[in-house]
Amino acid sequence: MDDTQLRQTLTQLHAELKNAGSLDDGARQMLADLQGDIGQVLQRSREEEFGDVRGMLGRLEDSIERFEISHPKLTAAFNNVISTLNNLGI
């Protein structure tokens, strides 16, 4: 699997997560979980498949619902990752 585009998209999302601004405890935990997911994917070697990323995909979808109004840039980054995963057949 060519993962270059996914890695670039996840790196962009990771940067957006760092700049998310003030959040309540639940939102902060949700984003921390996503950062952990992203970190795991980015650390994998190119030879490895991404495996089951459905958990991350579900958290991304939940995050879109939660942050759609309050953090539109972050929501756009979530959508980018989901689109990239879909384009890769994941």
**Could you tell me what percent of the chain has a pLDDT over 70?**
83
Q: If pLDDT is split at 50, 70 and 90, which confidence band does 47 have?
A: very low
Closest C-alpha among 30, 25, 52, 31 to residue 41: 52
**pLDDT value of residue 10:** 78
Break the chain into its structural domains and give their ranges. Answer: 4-87
Separation between Cα atoms, residue 21 and residue 17, nearest integer Å: 9
Q: If pLDDT is split at 50, 70 and 90, which confidence band does 90 have?
A: low
Residue 52: is its pLDDT beyond 70?
Answer: no
**pLDDT value of residue 51:** 60
Q: If pLDDT is split at 50, 70 and 90, which confidence band does 46 have?
A: very low
Phi, psi of 46 (to 5 degrees): -65, -25
